[in-house]
Amino acid sequence: MEWINVKDIPAPKQGKFLFSYHCGVGLGAWGQAYTTINGNSERTHELYFLVLWPMDISENDGEPFQWDERKMMEMGVYWMPLPQSPKQR
């Protein structure tokens, strides 16, 4: 499999995928984000959740990155589909 530049083809919004950028490789997925409004957590937007591994614990306080499509392009992200698990072959 080849790495795909998000500038050419956006990362998928269905299912998980591998991603790569200058800090390493990790697992990503599109999902629902929440914002606390007047003490209540409310669904406000969707974006990519990206978990870098191995995670530098000091980076982003160990939390997943939450990036929209524009930020993915700015950061020079590449992606590829996950390989099939042995059960799916």
Predicted TM-score (pTM) of the model is 0.78
Say how far apart CA 8 and CA 72 lie, in whole Å: 12
pLDDT exceeds cutoff 80 at 5: yes
**More reliable by pLDDT, 40 or 69:** 69
Cis peptide before 12 (omega within 30 of 0): no
Domain locations in the chain as residue ranges: 4-78
Is 67:13 a contact under the CB 8 Å cutoff? no
pLDDT exceeds cutoff 90 at 85: no
> pLDDT tens, 6-50?
999 999 999 999 999 988 899 999 988 776 667 766 667 789 999
